[in-house]
Amino acid sequence: MSDTEIVQMIINGQKDLEWFNTNLERLKSEYDNMFVAFADKKIIDSDSVLDNLISKLKNKGIDISNIFIEFVSKTKFIL
């Protein structure tokens, strides 16, 4: 992978994270207490169990190293 490709991946990733944060309230309504996989400013798949989501993604032939997975909840958790 070239330096240019790496920089583009970083830029795209930053845009995806900004999209996620901007749309988080809407996503909470649709995906409460679920793990969501997203890339290119769209939800790819979701599941309430992380292992199930990863299996679904792999079955679709999606390389999970090139996407984001976040837990979405209306409830704020403190660790």
For 13-37, write each residue's pLDDT tens digit.
899 999 999 999 999 999 999 999 9
d(CA 69, CA 3): 25
d(CA 43, CA 78): 25
pLDDT: which is higher, 7 or 79: 7
Q: How many CA atoms lie within 13 A of 13 on its CB side?
A: 11
The model carries a pTM of 0.85
Tokens 């999970």 found at: 64
Return the pLDDT at 79. 65
Four-point Cα dihedral 40, 54, 48, 22, nearest 10: -20
d(CA 23, CA 78): 21
Return the pLDDT at 13. 87
